[in-house]
Structure 1
Amino acid sequence: ENRVHWLVVESDGESERILCVVRDTDMGIRQQSGQNADGCISDVRYRGQEVGMKSPALVVPTSDGENGNVMMFEYFKNSFAPLFRESDRWSDVGFLTVSQYIDTYLSEGSATEVRLKSIGGSWIGGHQQWQEGDLRQQVLAAVEKLSQHYAKVVESGQGSAEKTRALLLCETSCFVYWGSDFWAEQAKLFIEWVRAML
């Protein structure tokens, strides 16, 4: 956490490297419980000292509506938005996009290399929540099939940014994570929409 990594993904003898930025899990949990802007800044300062890097630490707070819970209704308006409205209050903390941080501080590359594991990488302790149950397996299989189909569409020269974004919407984590009929039905609707587009 609080570093930029090269994530190495290997499958069927092929290997790809992508930059990976890990959101701070502990901060995310506090933000879910309604942490205010000052609390977030205190966390950022602490994390920056804890990492012990020559360049400033990259601390990524939660910025989305995370599953419609208190972060959507409380954290974003009460904490995240004020961070930027009142940014001049914290002269020792810089506000950058991840791309700006990489361009400014990581011109020689990221600090570490990590390899993707099949278990134990989720903030809930493992990937079982994403894989167990017939409903989850059905959604995963349908999205995988759609992804393979889109790869062929791209190879034929018919891909587009709009189609790519649509496919990414089909990969929304809630469709699988909750394992519920509601989210599986939402996944089905999205998948049918993208199939029609392709």
Structure 2
Amino acid sequence: MNCYSRIADFVRELSGEGKNPRIMLDYSGNLLWGLKDMGEERVLDNLKLVTCDKKYSGYVEWLGTMWSHSVVSSTPVPDIKLHIKEWQDCFASIFSQKALKNVKGFSAPEMHLPIHPDVCFEYVKALKECGYRWLMVQEHTIENLDGTPIRRPHFPHKLVAKNSLGEKTEITVIIKTQGSDNKLIGQMQPYYEAKTLGYEKYCGLDLPSFVAQIGDGENGGVMMNEFPNAYKTAFQEIGREGVVSMNGTEYLELVKQTGLDEKSFMPVEPVSQGKIWEFLKEYSHGAADRAIEKVKQKYPGFSLEKASWTNDKDWVKGYEDIMDPITQLSAAFHKKFDNKNTDKANPAYKKALFYLLLSQTSCFRYWGAGMWTDYAKEICRRGMEALK
């Protein structure tokens, strides 16, 4: 359990030495719930120290995420907002509502960004309705509005999400640059890359470049063994002038203070959406689906699943035996509870919601058929039982 707790020790240690550390944390809701359910209060109490104590809270920024490690595009659309809200409720129950108000950025599981226009629109809409100010995205999961690759990854952009009806919404994005995530984080590559950069002209103003990286957890030797020393070594060197460390919201506040409004950020869209707009000329219900069918005929390699940090993982194809029960459970859940009179504090609702969200964890569809897929089917079965 130390791997989930020790970052708080690092921050307090460095702060005590007069250093100025920074870290952004992304813990799934079912991890936070699991720590609490297992009675690992020592882990949570340690994290509370750097989350709630003003002495340390400026060093740490929590990012919101889905409640379970659920890939957005393979999550039933009505459940996307449920994940986002349930994570917020889970976080607030542990760290307080006051701490939740400081959670402004969102980190999606697998760094996945939906390519389907209707799904992306609902996703961004849900993020904004839940109070999020910005989203972290992977460099290769977005493109300029003309379909070309982005050219300014070290500066904030605005993601434009438009649906089949022509409705549009936008959210600021901070770009995670390309590279092997854990290896680069484990060796503190963002700091050493930042040392090669400086101020650049962006949207008419001179702004400092911002290097953002994220690792996918403590699941390897690099993060477990190399990261602690690399992190401490970097922050022994990083000062308060020249190349400094900032968290995402902190950087966006700096950008705002220079006079650059987020509405002026360079616009981007999910990668490959340009091909869809090529065939979507009139807005109507189902227009995106019809356009996608035409795209597939012209571009045989086109895929809606490529926009994540693996870039080669299809979270739906080959997993129909899991997706069907998940879809059925979702439909049954909403049929029973989608009315204004639903008491969301009711244990029956909470139990059914728990199984619904848990069943959508991507891990059940990462390792292929076998034990993990069996887990998902059993969770769906229990969810259906809870709805009776």
CA distance in 2, matches of 1:43, 1:76: 16
* Residue equivalent to 2:155: 3
**Amino-acid identity (%):** 22
1:78 aligned partner, one-letter code = N
Aligned 1:135-174 pairs, distance under 5 A: 135=319, 137-140=320-323, 149=333, 156=340, 158=343, 172-174=361-363
Report if aligned partners of 2:177, 2:212 keep a CA contact under 8 Å in 1. Answer: yes
State the Cα distance separating 1:3 from its structure 2 match: 2.9
- Cα distance change on mapping 1:171 and 1:19 into 2, 3 Å: farther
CA distance in 1, matches of 2:155, 2:262: 11
- Cα distance change on mapping 1:113 and 1:92 into 2, 3 Å: same
CA distance in 1, matches of 2:248, 2:198: 19
State the Cα distance separating 1:108 from its structure 2 match: 0.3
* Residue equivalent to 1:130: 315
Report if aligned partners of 2:154, 2:209 keep a CA contact under 8 Å in 1. Answer: yes
- Cα distance change on mapping 1:129 and 1:55 into 2, 3 Å: same
SS of the residue corresponding to residue 191 of structure 2 reads helix
* Residue equivalent to 1:60: 212
CA distance in 1, matches of 2:335, 2:178: 33
Q: Does 1:114 align with 2:264?
A: no
* Residue equivalent to 1:101: 251
- The one of 227, 230, 235 equivalent to 1:79 is 230
| RMSD over aligned Cα atoms | 4.1
Report if aligned partners of 1:175, 1:187 keep a CA contact under 8 Å in 2. Answer: yes
State the Cα distance separating 1:151 from its structure 2 match: 11
State the Cα distance separating 1:92 from its structure 2 match: 1.9
* Residue equivalent to 1:69: 220
Structure 2 unmatched ranges of 5 or more? 1-152, 274-303
* Residue equivalent to 2:168: 15
- Cα distance change on mapping 1:20 and 1:181 into 2, 3 Å: farther
Structure 1 unmatched ranges of 5 or more? none
State the Cα distance separating 1:11 from its structure 2 match: 3.6
SS of the residue corresponding to residue 72 of structure 1 reads helix
Report if aligned partners of 1:44, 1:59 keep a CA contact under 8 Å in 2. Answer: yes
Report if aligned partners of 1:27, 1:43 keep a CA contact under 8 Å in 2. Answer: no
Taking structure 2 as the reference length, what is the TM-score of the superposition? 0.37
CA distance in 2, matches of 1:80, 1:150: 45
Structure showing greater Rg: 2
Deviation per CA, 1:99-156, whole angstroms, max 9, x where unpaired? Answer: 1211221450162221223364334445x533331x2x44455556666746995863
Report if aligned partners of 2:182, 2:215 keep a CA contact under 8 Å in 1. Answer: no
CA distance in 1, matches of 2:253, 2:343: 32
Report if aligned partners of 1:7, 1:115 keep a CA contact under 8 Å in 2. Answer: yes
- Cα distance change on mapping 1:78 and 1:27 into 2, 3 Å: farther
- Cα distance change on mapping 1:2 and 1:159 into 2, 3 Å: farther
How many residue pairs get aligned? The number is 185
SS of the residue corresponding to residue 22 of structure 1 reads strand
1:175 aligned partner, one-letter code = F
2:160 aligned partner, one-letter code = V
Q: Does 1:184 align with 2:373?
A: yes
